[in-house]
Amino acid sequence: DTNATEDSTVPLNVREKYIISKEIGRGAYGEVKLCFIRGTCDRFAMKIIAKKHFTVMGAHAHTFNQQIQSECSILRGLDHPCIIRVYDVYDTSDAVYIVLELVEGGELFDRIVANGQFDEITSKFLFRQMCLGVKYLHDHSITHRDLKPENVLLTSPDTNETLIKITDFGLSRFINETTLMKTFCGTPNYLAPEVLSTRGEASYTNKVDIWSLGVILYICLVGYPPFSESISGTPLNDQIIKGLYTFPDEFWSEVSESAKDLIRKMMCVDPTKRLTINDVLEHPWLVDDHDNTTRVDKIMHPSKVISTPPTITSVKRPACDDDTPLSEPCT
Ligand SMILES: c1ccc2c(c1)[nH]c1[nH]cn[n+]12
């Protein structure tokens, strides 16, 4: 990958507005670089996706580019605390340049690795935010399709009481078969069974995101994935397609039955039986924990922290006795 700063293929209008700096991440279909707006020095993330990863419609390239434009105008219209903001999109012949919100806390994936796993309270705090972000996408008819801890970013580098931001949504609709094959080449740890059993031909529903959220919650609580080749020797795809996961007491004895119940209802093989995102948010594990809901609301809407108004002790009231005539009738 060429260094975009010198790379002459970066369109002039992008270079005029942004200084593109170092690489800060690599997604499945492109690189992410730190960039600054010339002048204000506001910092953003610039995702550069080479078009070769997209379905080449050949003659239909024109409609394809229009599809990208309309998709990105949808993405630019999204505004939710748990969704990475899309500020600008530059579509050129060989690449799409997407200007995105920058966050400094790294990926959930790395935080889980560093922590080992989260306690149930922290898991629920982060999980509720992911659910609210996914609900916002589903309410806007957007299926993420590639939810995984690598696509959940954190805003604070030094605490788990952090805001999370979901990224890499929306463009997945434009995946061409090679990138889709990449989906199959990559570990299908988070991939829903219906995608695997029909080799991706399944009519995707947004239920695929619920399965992935279930896998993410499982990993947050115990620090290891529900499916893995090494242990049982059964091929990974078979484990997923048949839903062969368990909650071994060795690791799960400290976790509440309610949390396991929710995971079972999210990681159910039949998508028609799987919970919707609204069902998930109405599950007792999330609904019955008001403290968690309050903490999540506060981190999502910090400005709305209701500061308790000062009690009125400062105002001195004249000692009133009943024969003092009122200077004027009280209005
Ligand atoms: C998409 C992919 C990676 C991103 C991103 C948007 N924003 C941001 N801030 C740090 N990394 N990163």
Q: How far is the CA of 44 from the centre of ligand 1 (A)?
A: 8
2-6, 71-75, 198-202, 288-292: least confident range: 2-6
Residue at token pair 């995984």: 148
Closest residue to atom 7 of ligand 1, CA basis: 102
Digit-coded pLDDT (tens) for 229-263: 876 688 999 999 999 999 999 999 999 999 999 99
Q: Give the atom of ligand 1 at the shortest distance from the alpha carbon of 103.
A: 9
pTM of the model as a whole = 0.85
Q: What is the 23 CA–ligand 1 centroid distance (Å)?
A: 10
- What is the DSSP-derived secondary structure letter of residue 25? E
Pocket (CB within 6 angstroms of ligand 1): 24-25, 27, 32, 45, 47, 84, 100-103, 153, 167
Ligand 1 centroid vs 101 CA: distance in angstroms? Answer: 7
How far is it, in rounded angstroms, from Cα 323 to Cα 327?
A: 12
pLDDT digits (tens, 9 = 90+) for 152-184: 999 999 999 999 999 987 666 655 444 555 666
Give the lowest-confidence range in 38-42, 43-47, 66-70, 119-123: 66-70
What are the tokens at 129?
A: 């935010």
How many Å apart are CA 153 and CA 25, to the nearest integer?
11
Higher-pLDDT residue of 117 and 318 is 117
Residue 83 β-bridge partners? 166
In this structure, of 17-31, 215-229, 283-297, 313-327, the range with the lowest mean pLDDT score is 313-327
Degrees to nearest 5, angle at CA 171 with 49 and 102: 65
pLDDT computed for residue 121 by the predictor: 98
Q: Which atom of ligand 1 is nearest to the CA of 27?
A: 2
